[in-house]
């Protein structure tokens, strides 16, 4: 069975809230019984998921030393989105707001973009399938749960996907750090 590792309280809580059937097993830092973690563990235990109490080294080894906050879970992979899903995403929202990323290769940056996209009400984040950061445990941890609620759409050809979206009435606003136009001055109305 294919699986992936996630870690961090928010990432685990997000899967618990959105698709708890994905849990396979959970490892928690032995002796950690604080008010943030205990409710999460109780909810996971009610699902009948195995919870193992392990030492810090075991958790550090599973996460390559990342900040796991004392909890690591092995889960079934989440849904993967591609360009074929864009039409359904657009149909579900009257005025969709999409974030298109190109050149984001660091999973920390991808996670931060997902977290910000969730806060801004973005309908989906679109990235190229090749030469972009993967939605791995690091990106999920940094996203603080947003990776479970904001679809990450991987497209084969970013330019072609953008053309298709434009043909469907989606407007695009490009940004760059050296631009003299402030994105906050742009009238973002419609799709």
Q: What pLDDT is recorded for position 177?
A: 67
| CATH topology for the 4-75 domain | 60s Ribosomal Protein L30; Chain: A; (3.30.1330)
Are 51 and 28 in contact by the 8 Å Cβ rule? The answer is yes
3-state secondary structure (DSSP) of residue 177: coil
> pLDDT digits over 147-184, tens only?
999 999 999 999 999 999 999 988 887 776 676 766 67
- pLDDT confidence of 92, banded at 50, 70, 90? confident
What is the residue-wise DSSP string for 60-118?
HHHTTT---TTEEEEE-----EEGGGHHHHHHT-SS--EEE--S---HHHHHHHHHHHH
- The number of angstroms, rounded, from the C-alpha of 164 to the middle of its chain's C-alpha atoms is 24
d(CA 47, CA 181): 51
d(CA 141, CA 66): 9
- Residue range(s) of every CATH 3.40.1280.10 domain in the chain: 81-185
Total Cβ atoms within 10 A of residue 81: 18
- Residue range(s) of every CATH 3.30.1330.30 domain in the chain: 4-75
> pLDDT digits over 93-139, tens only?
888 899 999 999 999 999 999 999 999 999 999 999 999 999 998 99
Q: 81-185 has which CATH code? A: 3.40.1280.10
């Amino acid at each position: 069975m294919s699986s992936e590792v996630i870690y961090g309280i928010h990432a685990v809580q997000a899967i618990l809230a959105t698709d708890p059937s994905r849990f396979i097993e959970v490892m928690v830092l032995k002796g950690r019984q604080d008010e943030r973690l205990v409710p999460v563990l109780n909810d996971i235990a009610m699902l009948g998921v195995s919870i193992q109490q392990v030492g810090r080294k075991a958790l550090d080894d599973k996460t390559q030393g990342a900040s796991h906050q004392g909890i690591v879970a092995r889960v079934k992979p989440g849904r993967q989105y591609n360009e074929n899903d864009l039409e359904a995403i657009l149909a579900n929202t009257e005025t969709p707001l999409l974030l298109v990323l190109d050149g984001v290769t660091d999973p920390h940056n991808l996670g931060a973009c997902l977290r910000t996209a969730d806060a801004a009400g973005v309908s989906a984040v679109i990235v190229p399938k090749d030469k972009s950061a993967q939605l791995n445990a690091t990106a999920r941890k940094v996203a603080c749960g947003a990776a479970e609620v904001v679809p990450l759409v991987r497209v084969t050809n970013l330019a072609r996907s953008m053309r298709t979206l434009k043909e469907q009435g989606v407007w695009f606003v490009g940004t760059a750090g050296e631009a003299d136009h402030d994105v906050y001055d742009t009238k973002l109305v419609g799709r």
